[in-house]
Structures are given as structure tokens and as C-alpha cells.
């Protein structure tokens, strides 16, 4: 390993340590609390078959990093959904999925689970925007998006 690589490695390690700490009174460095938690995303399409959806989620309070995206509970949405990686850099995520099979969910169904790294003691709060939800023919549904914090389901 050359001298530049060693210096770069030390600098990167120092930066990571600083990002996960806080400076308290008298300049004492205090490590920040870090935990991991899932955030379940649900759509309720009432009695209509859900074939497609797109939504945006952002943290409005607290400091979170999205470290994983998992599919939903119904087989139509069990694969991890599509998401915009560029949006992740701006502390938000845009997710979309579609399925035009005949076996589609109705009612309240979990469409995704986001795995989060929560940094600090502030409990995160989220803002969501259901951009679109539709049936297999492309007809927009009057669905509702909801979130549930908790254990992996």
C-alpha cells in the first residue's frame, strides 16, 4: 500500500468516526446512538385490484439512511420494487412497482419494507406522497398509503 492510500484510508476512517459522533460540552466527543429498524409500507385499495403504484417517502424529522428495500407480502409485489438511487442521496426515496397478472391484491397489503439506519436519539417522522396507484387496465385507484414502524414481517 503506498503512502497516499494510507493517508486516504486514515482520512476516510476519521471522517466516518466524526459523522457518527457528536461534540458535547468541553469538546468531549460523544458517540451517537445508531440502530436499525424496518418501516413497512402499505396500500389500501379497498375492493379494487392493485396492479401498479408509485410513491415518494422522505424523513421530515430525525436522521435516517435507507440501507435496504424489500418486496411486499402478496406474490404480485414480493420482488423488491424499483427505486430511484439518485433520490437516496437527498434523504428520500421514490419507489414504483407493477404487475399485470390476474392474481392481484385487494384491500390493505404491504407493498414494501424499507430497512433503515437511524442515527441519533430523535425518533424519525416521515412524509409520504402516493403519486399513482392503478388497476391492470391503467385506471387510477382511490387507494391510501400508510406506514407501520416495527419488527420485520
Give the CATH number, domain containing residue 51.
2.60.40.680
Residue 26 domain boundaries: 1-31
Statement to judge: residues 127 and 87 lie in one domain: yes
As for how many domains the chain has, the answer is 2
Flag the least confident range among 11-20, 76-85, 91-100.
11-20
The C-alpha cell of 57 is what? 417517502
131 close to 55: Cβ distance less than 8 angstroms? yes
pLDDT at 26 over 90: no
Q: pLDDT tens-digit profile of 131-146?
A: 999 999 999 999 999 9
Statement to judge: residues 64 and 101 lie in one domain: yes
Q: Would the pTM count as exceeding 0.85?
A: no
Q: pLDDT tens-digit profile of 30-73?
A: 678 999 999 999 999 999 999 999 999 999 999 999 988 999 99
Per-residue confidence (pLDDT) for residue 32, from 0 to 100: 80
Statement to judge: residues 76 and 112 lie in one domain: yes
Statement to judge: residues 20 and 58 lie in one domain: no
Statement to judge: residues 42 and 71 lie in one domain: yes
- What is the percent of the chain with per-residue pLDDT over 70, rounded to a whole number? 77
Phi and psi (nearest 5°) for 109? -140, 140
Per-residue confidence (pLDDT) for residue 29, from 0 to 100: 62
Q: Give dist(CA 117, CA 132) in Å, integer.
A: 27
**30: buried, middle or exposed (CB in 10 Å: 19+, 13-18, 0-12)?**
exposed
- What is the percent of the chain with per-residue pLDDT over 90, rounded to a whole number? 66
Grouping H, G, I as helix, E, B as strand and the rest as coil, residue 73 is: coil
**19: buried, middle or exposed (CB in 10 Å: 19+, 13-18, 0-12)?**
exposed
Statement to judge: residues 112 and 124 lie in one domain: yes
The C-alpha cell of 10 is what? 486514515
Statement to judge: residues 37 and 3 lie in one domain: no
Statement to judge: residues 82 and 136 lie in one domain: yes
Statement to judge: residues 60 and 47 lie in one domain: yes
Give the per-residue SS3 of 126-152.
EEEEEEEEECCCCCECCCEEEEEECCC
Statement to judge: residues 50 and 11 lie in one domain: no
Statement to judge: residues 76 and 138 lie in one domain: yes
Amino acid at each position: 500500500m503506498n503512502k497516499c492510500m494510507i493517508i486516504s484510508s486514515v482520512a476516510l476512517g476519521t471522517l466516518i468516526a466524526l459523522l457518527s459522533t457528536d461534540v458535547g460540552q468541553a469538546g468531549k466527543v460523544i458517540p451517537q446512538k445508531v440502530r436499525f429498524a424496518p418501516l413497512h409500507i402499505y396500500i389500501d385499495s379497498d375492493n379494487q385490484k392493485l396492479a401498479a403504484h408509485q410513491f415518494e417517502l422522505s424523513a421530515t424529522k430525525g436522521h435516517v439512511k435507507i440501507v435496504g428495500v424489500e418486496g411486499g407480502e402478496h406474490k404480485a409485489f414480493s420482488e423488491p420494487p424499483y427505486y430511484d438511487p439518485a433520490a437516496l442521496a437527498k434523504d428520500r426515496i421514490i419507489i414504483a412497482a407493477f404487475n399485470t397478472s390476474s392474481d392481484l391484491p385487494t384491500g390493505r397489503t404491504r407493498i414494501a419494507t424499507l430497512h433503515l439506519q437511524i442515527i441519533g436519539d430523535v425518533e424519525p417522522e416521515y412524509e409520504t406522497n402516493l403519486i399513482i396507484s392503478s388497476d391492470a387496465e391503467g385506471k387510477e385507484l382511490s387507494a391510501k398509503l400508510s406506514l407501520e414502524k416495527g419488527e420485520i414481517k
